[in-house]
Amino acid sequence: MIIYVINFFIAILLGSMIFFMAVVSPSVFATLSSNASSKFLRTIFPRMFLFGFIIAVLSLIFSFISGNILNFILLIVVAISFIINRNYLTPRINDFRDKELEGDQKASSSFKYLHLLSVLLFILNFIILLGIIILNYFNYNL
């Protein structure tokens, strides 16, 4: 029964990630000015990563209670990734973006590298979460 709670939390997180990628980001760039979109994204990204961290921690607590060590370990990776994105990468990305806009070429390459790293961590989290749902389905429904 606890596996359904874990899957519910993970499904919420996956849904929010899909919504962000498919609806929020394209809408921001299509409708807001460069300055407004920058302000909006600098506000929403840390909150989205915090939301992901909280849901991942809740899921890993239930995984620990259920004794599912694989889920627990994978969710630790997801939670750490979200907090790295929020507390380490996002502030640096914002700083390098500001410097890039001021004309600093070195900051431009650092911005691109850190932004790519952030996106890759987001995609990795998505794949891990999807994998957990699939593994849980096969482990408990067959």
Which pLDDT belongs to residue 141? 64
40-81 confidence digits (pLDDT tens): 999 999 999 999 999 999 999 999 999 999 999 999 999 999
Percent of the chain at pLDDT exceeding 70? 99
* Confidence (pTM): 0.91
Domains of the chain: total: 1
Please report which confidence band the pLDDT of residue 28 belongs to, taking 50, 70 and 90 as the band edges.
Answer: very high
Q: Are the C-beta atoms of residues 134 and 141 closer than 8 Å to each other?
A: no
Q: Are the C-beta atoms of residues 91 and 114 closer than 8 Å to each other?
A: no
Q: Once rounded to an integer, what is the mean pLDDT over residues 21-42? A: 92
Rounded Cα–Cα distance for residues 109 and 132 (Å): 35
Question: What range does the domain containing 68 cover?
Answer: 2-141
Look up residue 13 and give its two tokens. 């997180």
Q: How far is CA 50 from CA 43, 70, 118, 119, 120, in A?
A: 12, 23, 14, 16, 17
